Each structure stands twice: as C-alpha cells, then as structure tokens.
Amino acid sequence: MIIAEAKPLAEVAGLINDAQKILVVGCGGCVTVCLAGGEKETGILAAALRMLRKKEGNPLETVEVTLTRQCDPEYVDMLAKYVTDDIDAIISLACGVGVQFLAERYPKWVVPALNTKFAGATIEHGVWEERCGLCGECILYKTGGICPVIRCSKSILNGPCGGSQNGKCEVNPETPCAWQLIYDRLKTLGKLDLLLEIQPPKDWSKSRDGGPRKVVREDVRLA
C-alpha cells in the first residue's frame, strides 16, 4: 500500500491561513491502514486546526468527511454536497493521488495534509518500510524476491557494492544491505548462478520518465 505521514501541523495551518471555513477530507484506503489519513486522523487534524486558530483569535470552521477512497471518481463525486460555496479550502488527508483528484474535480484551493512516502508494508505495528519503487518492469524473479531497485541505496542491479559489510548498507548501519539479503536468499534456494549473469542496464522508460504512465484494460472498460 501507499505509506504516508502527516505534515507538521504548523505547515498545514500555514497553508490555509486565509480560510474561514474548510472541508477536511480523509481517505479510507491505504492511509487509514498506515494511520495517517483515516477518519480518526481527520477528526484529530480538524480539531487541532480549530484550536490553533482559536488561540490566534481567528476562529476556523471545519467540516469533516472521510471517503472510502479518494483515488476513485465514484467516491470523489460523493463529496459534491459538502463542497458548498462557503468552503474556502479543502484539506486532503489522502496520498498525492487523492489530493490531485479532489483538485481536479472541485474548483477550490486543495492542500495536502500528508507527505506521501512510498509503496510499503507493515513491518510491525507502527513501522512501515518501502518495498517497491514502482519501476514498471519487475525483476524480482532475478533477485530472489528482494527488490534492489528500491532496497539497495544505489539501485545496483549487479551488487553488492564495496560498502556492504556485516550485512548492513554503507549508507546506514540500521539498513540491511539488499544485496546481502539477495545473496543469502539465492544461496538458500541453490540459485547463486543467477547472480553471475551480468544484468544489462535497466529500461527506465517503464519507470517515472515520460509523463504519467497509464494502464488500460480494454477487457474491463465500460465504454
């Protein structure tokens, strides 16, 4: 899922300084699971903003809604009845996709309340870690199911580099070296020969470059 974390309260407050009434919109998807933008966090943020503004003698009115998902037009449409003329700004507690979707749909000042971090997983309660860099062409079958694109600090495809020591990455002694993990795993699987093949340069055109990527499934399209 997408992992996000809250922006500092002061930063969010600063983005809506001029607003009298705002709509605070949570998301029931990924950001609920990673405890950053669900119904509970939406309520807390709204309350905190109201308190802050009251202290400053510039009271703020808030309306709170949490959509099932902000990355789906169906749900974003449901927000229409709350986006009344007197709403000065919308704060989105979704990932960046949700923020953009609200901004596209409604002619209002839409601001993000979260920093969208990465595609990750829950390691333990309260700890999330990045596991995929969304590179567009998965090579996990070459690396024993451990992603070097994102888990190696240098995205090396023919690792490990000379900084790998005691199983840790040279960049941070807390971070396991992805290539040590890959080596150990392939050794266990009896597939070390996979590592002897020289991997050619990656086709990054499948990745971030070239504008937004699109996946079209003709078989499920309605029109």
Partner 1 sequence: MKTESKLERLLSQGHFVVSGEIGPPKHANPEGIKKHAALLKDYVDAMNLTDNQTAIVRLSSIAAGVHVLASGGEPIIQMTVRDRNRIALQSDLLGAYSLGMRNVLCLSGDHQSFGNHPTAKNVHDIDSIQLIKIVKDLRDEKKFACGEELKGNEPRFFIGAAANPFADPFEFRVLRLEKKINAGADFIQTQCIFDMERFEKFMAMVRERGLHKRAYIIAGVMPLKSAKAARYMQQSVAGMIVPEEIVSRMEKAADPKAEGVAICVEQIKHLRNIEGVAGVHIMAVMWEDIIPTIVKEAGLYPRPKVD
Q: Under the criterion CB under 8 A, does residue 161 sit at the interface with partner 1?
A: yes
Edge-to-edge strands of the sheet including 127-132? 2-6, 114-124, 127-132
Q: Among 8, 126, 200, 212, which residue sits at the site for partner 1 (rule: CB under 8 A)?
A: 200
Name which position in 166, 174, 212, 215 contacts partner 1 (CB under 8 A).
Answer: 166
Parallel/antiparallel/unpaired status of strands 2-6 and 114-124: antiparallel
**Position among 34, 169, 182, 195 found at the interface with ligand SF4 (CB under 6 A):** 169
The residue (of 8 and 166) whose beta carbon lies closer to partner 1 is 166
Q: Interface with partner 1 includes 140 (CB under 8 A)?
A: no
CB-CB neighbours of 35 under 10 Å: 16
Nearest to 114 by CA among 37, 28, 23: 37
Contact (Cβ atoms closer than 8 angstroms) between residue 100 and residue 84? no
Q: Which residues pair with 146 in a beta bridge?
A: none
Residues in contact with ligand SF4 by CB under 6 A are 132-135, 138-140, 147, 149-150, 152-154, 156, 159-161, 163-164, 169-171, 177-179
Residues in contact with partner 1 by CB under 8 A are 153-167, 170-171, 177, 180, 183-184, 192, 195-196, 198-202, 204
